[in-house]
């Protein structure tokens, strides 16, 4: 496809990914507001958030359907789930409805993301893949830097239900806009996906050494990141006495670091080669985790250490997404949905172990464990990619 014709679809998909990411993340900082609005305990809201993590696993079941039915249809389906859930919560402000709403928003994202990345993988030349992926992934950091502050304004001025209405409306608009701006794809001979085809897609994934290496990699680095993410607030609060507002600013700093990592991916990863960029990012990520305990000397140093950690992690993650869209070219959505499902399992493990590790050994234990886990992820990746060549490449990356 002509690069000029790609601009509008990529820009539109990036914007609506921003809406999906905001819907997925906003419950975290506003859990107390939601608990008061719904008249339930804070633990009930945190349980709601935890249940929502299951959607990343369910999204893996949709990958073969995306490869078979078409990426455009699944992108629109993801937006439709967001619209349905958010509008239902806006009209019926009950705990059970909000639970379903956030579940649908998470499932919509788990369907939309692999489909849009597979679509990019099928349309954008590999030599420019990281640039486009880096641009699209800015929707993740933008959800923290733009989406969540706008949610706060809406809640403050119009009540806790207003964000659901706005995001539901944007979801409806997204269905219509994506229908027109995403080019149509050839219709499959049959709209039915047989069990043999469905299982065959996963058998290709499991049988591919490079794909398994990538799954092992993303499992370990995701566990490492959440092992820190769930306790960094406690570290800053206990060591430097930060209050709620200051912690919010710290979260904004993490969003800014993620944005820089995404921008650097777009700027340099294609130029130096995705595999080389990925290994370099992993080495820096490992070093940043191990160095983090030494930044415990002052608040400024601690914030700089955290910024470096999340910058290197985001650079590594986005670069790996670009690379993984080419590992199974005939099953791109299956590959990417498996990738994100495995990352979700890693995040859950990291979240479960993070608190206990922090209580046992503080930031020293947290940083060391995250560094070791990231090192294991790098070993999986290097082992998996040994001897790997692109299907249409004459030389190795």
Q: Is residue 182 located within the same domain as residue 48?
A: yes
Any domain includes 389: no
Lowest mean pLDDT among 247-256, 280-289, 362-371: 247-256
pLDDT at 230 over 80: no
| 168, two tokens | 């539901």
Q: Is residue 341 located within the same domain as residue 379?
A: yes
Any domain includes 168: yes
Q: pLDDT tens, 152-198?
A: 888 888 889 999 999 999 999 999 999 999 988 665 544 555 565 55
Q: Is residue 110 located within the same domain as residue 185?
A: yes
Q: Is residue 232 located within the same domain as residue 369?
A: yes
pLDDT at 244 over 70: no
Q: Is residue 33 located within the same domain as residue 182?
A: yes
pLDDT at 266 over 90: no
pLDDT number for residue 170: 97
On whether the CB atoms of residues 91 and 100 are closer than 8 A, the answer is: no
Q: Is residue 283 located within the same domain as residue 178?
A: no
Q: Mean of the pLDDT values across residues 280-297? A: 95
| 65, two tokens | 């359907």
Any domain includes 393: no
- Quickly list DSSP for 292-326: GGGGTT-HHHHHHHHHHHHHHHHHHHHHHHHHHTT
| Range ranked top by mean pLDDT from 141-155, 245-259, 303-317, 348-362 | 303-317
Any domain includes 388: no
Q: Mapping DSSP to helix (H, G, I), strand (E, B) and coil, where does residue 70 land? A: coil
Residue with tokens 């950690």: 309
Cα(325)–Cα(352) distance, integer angstroms: 29
Read off the pLDDT band of 353 (50, 70, 90).
confident
Cα(165)–Cα(89) distance, integer angstroms: 8
Single residue among 193, 216, 244 that ends a domain in this structure? 193
Q: Is residue 65 located within the same domain as residue 181?
A: yes
Counted domains in the chain:
2
Any domain includes 397: no
70: domain range? 3-193
Closest CA to 13 of 100, 133, 168, 162: 133
Q: Is residue 54 located within the same domain as residue 180?
A: yes
Any domain includes 390: no
Q: Is residue 216 located within the same domain as residue 173?
A: no
Q: pLDDT tens, 66-98?
A: 777 788 999 999 999 999 999 999 999 999 999
Relative orientation angle of helices 195-207 and 332-385, to the nearest 10 degrees: 20
Q: pLDDT tens, 105-155?
A: 989 998 898 889 888 888 888 778 878 888 888 888 888 888 888 888 888
Q: Is residue 25 located within the same domain as residue 97?
A: yes
Q: Is residue 38 located within the same domain as residue 166?
A: yes
Q: Identify the CATH number of the domain in which residue 47 sits.
A: 1.20.1250.20
Q: How far is CA 268 from CA 261, 319, 331, in A?
A: 11, 10, 27
């Amino acid at each position: 496809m002509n690069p000029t014709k790609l601009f509008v679809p990529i820009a539109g998909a990036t914007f609506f990914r921003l809406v999906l990411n905001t819907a997925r993340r906003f419950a975290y900082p506003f859990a107390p507001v939601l608990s008061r609005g719904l008249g339930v305990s804070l633990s009930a809201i945190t349980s709601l958030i935890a249940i929502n993590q299951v959607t990343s696993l369910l999204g893996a079941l949709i990958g073969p359907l995306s490869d078979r039915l078409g990426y455009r249809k699944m992108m629109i389906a993801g937006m439709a789930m967001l619209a349905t859930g958010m509008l239902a919560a806006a009209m019926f402000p009950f705990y059970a409805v909000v639970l379903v709403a956030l579940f649908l928003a998470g499932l919509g994202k788990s369907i939309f993301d692999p489909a849009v990345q597979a679509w990019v993988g099928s349309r954008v030349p590999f030599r420019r893949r990281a640039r486009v992926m880096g641009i699209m992934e800015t929707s993740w950091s933008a959800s923290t830097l733009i989406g969540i502050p706008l949610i706060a304004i809406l809640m403050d001025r119009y009540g806790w239900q207003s964000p659901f209405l706005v995001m539901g409306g944007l979801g409806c608009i997204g269905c219509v806009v994506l229908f027109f701006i995403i080019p149509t794809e050839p219709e499959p001979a049959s709209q039915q996906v047989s069990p043999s085809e469905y299982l065959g897609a996963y058998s290709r994934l499991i049988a591919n050494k490079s794909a398994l290496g990538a799954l092992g990699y993303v499992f370990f680095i995701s566990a490492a990141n959440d092992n820190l993410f769930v306790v960094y607030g406690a570290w800053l609060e206990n060591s430097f006495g930060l209050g709620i507002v200051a912690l919010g600013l710290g979260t904004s700093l993490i969003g800014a670091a993620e944005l820089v990592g995404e921008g650097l991916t777009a700027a340099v990863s294609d130029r130096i080669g995705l595999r080389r960029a990925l290994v370099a990012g992993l080495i820096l990520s490992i070093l940043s985790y191990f160095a983090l305990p030494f930044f415990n000397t002052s608040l400024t140093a601690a914030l700089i250490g955290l910024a470096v950690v999340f910058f290197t992690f985001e650079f590594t993650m986005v670069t790996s997404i670009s690379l993984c869209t080419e590992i199974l070219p005939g099953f791109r959505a299956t590959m990417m949905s498996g990738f994100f499902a495995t990352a979700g399992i890693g995040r859950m493990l990291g979240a479960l172990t993070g608190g206990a590790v922090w209580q046992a050994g503080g930031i020293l234990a947290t940083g060391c464990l995250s560094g070791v886990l990231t090192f294991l992820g790098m070993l999986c990746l290097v082992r998996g990619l040994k001897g790997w060549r692109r299907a249409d490449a004459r030389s190795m990356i």
